[in-house]
Chain A
Amino acid sequence: MKSLILRVTARVLLPLMSLFSLFVLLRGHNDPGGGFIGGLIVGAAFSLYLFACGLQAARAALAVDPRAFIVFGLALATAAGIFAFFSGAPFLTGLWAPVPLPVLGKTGTPAVFDMGVYFVVIGVTLSIVFGLAEE
């Protein structure tokens, strides 16, 4: 269904929603939000773009195969857990950097873990959505 209004708005909404999802991801630790929700928002954004401009355009906008997101997310989440080994702590201990970064605030392994979850959710939703849209 190629509606002109939808096409134009989707082209604007996609980057906006992606940025919003990043915002939701980063605020998750202290306010409602987090990795799962951020990932789902990106999934919704790309689904909108899919409806508006077609599958090829949506795949090109994502640029990377969604399954790569899954692998990257899992690797990031596991790395966040293994990082604790280097300080002699058990797997998945939360270690926090002593100095908060300017924009991102306090960083630590749970934040990296949340990012891993974020990428996995993006990868999972978009693999399924793009897979179903293949015709």
Chain B
Amino acid sequence: MPALIIAGFAVAVLAPFACCRWGLRARYLFVLYPLAVTAYLAGSYAGIVSGAVRRTSLMWMPALGVRFSFLLDGLSLLFALLVSAIGALIVVYAGAYLKGHPHHGRFYAFLLMFMSSMLGLVLADNAITMFVFWELTGVSSYLLIGFEHERESSRYAALQALLVTGFGGLAMLAGLILIATVTGSYELSVILERGDALRAHPLYLPILLLILTGAFSKSALFPFHFWLPNAMEAPTPVSAYLHSATMVKAGIYLLARFSPALAETASWHYLVTLGGVATMVAGSVLAFAQRDLKRILAYSTVSALGTLALLLGLNTEEATKAAVVFLLVHSMYKGAMFMVAGTLAHETGTRDLEALGGLRRLMPVTAVTALVAALSMAGLPPLLGFISKELIYDAKLQAPQAQQYITTLGVMANAVIVAVAGMLAVAPFYGRRRETPKPPHEAPWAMLLGPAFLAVMGVVIGMMPGIFAAPVVSAAVAALHPVTVGVQIVLWKGFNLVLGLSMLTVVMGIAAYAGRAHLLRAFAGLRRMAHVGPLQAYDGVLAGMLALARTQTRLVQSGYLRVYVATVVLFLAATAIATVTLGGTGPGALRITRVHVAEVSLGAVMVLAAWTAARAESMLAAIAALGIVGYGVALMFVMFSAPDLAMTQFAVETLTIVLFILILPRLPRLRRLSRPAVRVRDMLAAGAAGALLAIAVLFAARQGPPSRLARYFADNSLPLAHGRNIVNVILVDFRALDTLGEITVISVAAVGIVALLRLRVETEKDKGAP
């Protein structure tokens, strides 16, 4: 399993090169990865649905108890199948959608990176492993939403998604660490067994709030729902994959995965159910009022996620069954509808509902596909959507409390969803033909394959749910409710209240669709209320933070290098005084044993050179004098037997002088030297700092025996690390992680410096010349 995920990242890294060589045809190569994952999952299918689970684990941080663990059970199998199967379809679709785009190599790299991260997330068995993949999905989502990075709205939307989900991710991390402290392990399998201890613990409520923040922010549930409609800036294949079928379901996955451990308390019921209900209603109503096809789809996804949260909040066995089936069917129809919307936008040049109409003769296959998907969305038999709606009503009616309210709100929200389905699939294709920016024609086969496949599956699974859906659904439910009787899904259950509710919903929905214009006019006043909400809160917080940063910078950073240096030097002096007075026996006898003539003369030369540098009247003289000081330090290292340090210091000093020489022509001439009074002040400050630091070092040097660490390194360098040069062995073996961090930092610094230099050269060229 881990090999599969790492392979995905490897393919992602190679994607841009493959696209350079083979262009868009490379997508047939890329689609092999999700197909391979699907094949692997299909191979494990039989085993998992009969109750087995598969676990793999690699050591990562043994000291902290963190491992790289993976678990394949019913729930993760379902999610992983969704990720890989829909992923394969999206890879093919995106190829046709992006034809002509210069950066498609980059796009596929990000897409495959996301696919691997999402697989890692749902397959993870360790809390920290899951968190790492959670954040990776957030990063790849950022890269994908901001793919058209030339547009400011894309950049804004990408940053918003990253900040909101990242904030939730941090809260989730805190919650996970608290859980691990309470239950004693980071492994999810262990945590889920110790649910009772967790629920009884006094820290339960903070843990719940933190985990819920993470889940709610990732799945765009109220009050974090505002990032999802803005994320529609992404190219449509991205929206179809991430923001309907997979990434937004990650929060739902988190809720589901932790429900055996965290649910069954009043707090969970209230918080999750209420959040779900609020989102469900708000999402559906907002979807009804939109004109842009993708925003309609985004808000209806928000509503669906609210329904899923609501069902997980109820946490009964029927509710879980309903949630799992709804998860499956929603991914299928929403993915299909997003792809249809993308096809419409691609072929006609517009996504505006008012501008699309009567296209069914010109785009017949797309129209039929959209219609089938919409029937599933509206919940009409014999599609899987119908079964799903029935199960949801069933679960709501059997809720422990407040069934009437939940069911009524559910009916109203679903009615609006039926109307929305009509808006998406009926309005663009039927009715009067309207003018579109580009002459419409049917889409290429690659863009028809995805939605058609998903729509057909909706019908097939709907008609034969026992064969296709029941095994994996029951395995998923069993993963969450260990004591279960087995799950049966049938298409027709006879005339009962639930069927009545479904018919009522459909009738109300058709009425709402027909009277849409009137309804929108009647509720126009409410639209003004939409301007005060969580989105404005986000904007306000961000603007406030930037304003604070600007004020603070203006106060502290004056722009004068000498002020900064003076601050550093004086602080150093103060620290030295503190060390001497607080840290030892105070100024006592300094034991100065032997002093070589060589050391003293070298020291004198260095002091003289430093004096010359301070008093120099030309830059070149100052640089040369500083060079002497530097080489003097290197000679000191040689004298005190530190050959590695000495070699490094020689090389660094040489390169520093080289750099000075390179910028010398561009430095301003030393025109105005400081006044004598200022010079005296500077000399006192520098002298005090240097002297005090020297005294502090002398006192530190006479403290006791060498530290245990030095002895450990000296003893173990040869046997454990096979090296005699202890300094080098520490750098590349014992403390290799620090070195890795250092080289990353200097690489980033180098990239920044080159960018800044390039910028200067370019502005000079612009100013310079004809």
Which residues of A does B touch, CB under 8 Å? 24, 28-37, 40-41, 43-44, 47, 51, 67, 70, 73-74, 77-78, 81, 85, 88-92, 94, 96, 106, 108, 110-111, 113-114, 116-117, 120-121, 123-125, 127-129, 131-135
Contacts and interface: CB of A to CB of B under 8 A. Distances in A.
B85 to A, nearest CB: 29
Interface in B84-136: none
Contact of B721 (A74, A94, A120, A131): A94
A43 B731 contact: no
Chain A CB count within 10 A is highest, among B62, B658, B757, for: B658
B740 A77 contact: yes
Given A74-B743, A90-B59, A121-B746, 8 more contacts: A31-B724, A40-B655, A47-B658, A70-B747, A81-B740, A113-B732, A120-B746, A133-B662
B651 A44 contact: yes
A32 B736 contact: no
Nearest to B740: A77
Contacts of A37: 644, 647-648, 651
A29 B722 contact: yes
A116 B729 CA distance: 15
Given A124-B747, A127-B750, A29 B728 contact: yes
28 contacts: A28-B725, A32-B725, A35-B732, A36-B648, A37-B647, A37-B648, A51-B658, A51-B661, A67-B754, A73-B743, A74-B743, A90-B60, A94-B721, A106-B722, A110-B721, A110-B723, A110-B736, A113-B739, A117-B743, A124-B746, A128-B659, A128-B750, A131-B754, A132-B659, A132-B663, A133-B662, A134-B757, A134-B761
A134 B662 CA distance: 9
Contacts of A47: 655, 658
A29 B725 contact: yes
B652 interface: yes
Contacts of B740: 77-78, 81, 92, 113
Nearest to A111: B732
B733 interface: yes
Interface string B664-705: 000000000000000000000000000000000000000000
Given A116-B743, A127-B753, A34 B655 contact: no
A30 B662 CA distance: 36
Contact of B737 (A31, A92, A111, A125): A92
Nearest to A108: B722
Nearest to A125: B655
A127 to B, nearest CB: 5
Q: Which 9 A-B pairs have the closest CB atoms?
A: A40-B651, A32-B643, A131-B757, A29-B723, A124-B750, A34-B728, A30-B724, A132-B662, A120-B743
A74 B743 CA distance: 7
Contact of B744 (A74, A114, A123): A74
A63 B751 CA distance: 19
B438 interface: no
Contacts of A131: 753-754, 757-758
B757 A30 contact: no
Contacts of B565: none
Given A94-B733, A129-B662, A32 B747 contact: no
Interface in B245-292: none
A33 B658 contact: no
B61 interface: yes
A86 to B, nearest CB: 10
Nearest to A44: B654
Interface of B: 58-62, 643-644, 647-648, 651-652, 654-655, 658-659, 661-663, 721-725, 727-729, 731-733, 736-737, 739-740, 743-744, 746-747, 749-751, 753-754, 757-758, 761
B725 A33 contact: yes
Nearest to A78: B740
A94 B129 CA distance: 23
A31 B725 contact: yes
A93 B722 CA distance: 13
Nearest to B764: A135
Contacts of B743: 73-74, 77, 116-117, 120-121
Contacts of B761: 134-135
Nearest to B750: A124
Contacts of B647: 24, 32-33, 37
B723 A30 contact: yes
Nearest to A37: B647
B732 A110 contact: yes
A33 B61 contact: no
Contacts of A134: 757, 761
A34 B60 contact: no
Contacts of A74: 743-744, 747
Contacts of B737: 91-92
A43 B653 CA distance: 12
Contacts of A111: 732
Given A34-B731, A110-B721, A128 B651 contact: no
Nearest to A112: B732
A44 B60 CA distance: 39
B26 to A, nearest CB: 22
A77 B743 CA distance: 9
Contact of B59 (A29, A30, A43, A88): A88
Contacts of B746: 120-121, 124
A125 B754 CA distance: 11
Contacts of B661: 51
A35 B750 CA distance: 18
Nearest to A29: B723
A129 B662 CA distance: 8
Nearest to A48: B658
A90 B655 contact: no
A70 B663 contact: no
Contacts of B722: 29, 96, 106, 108
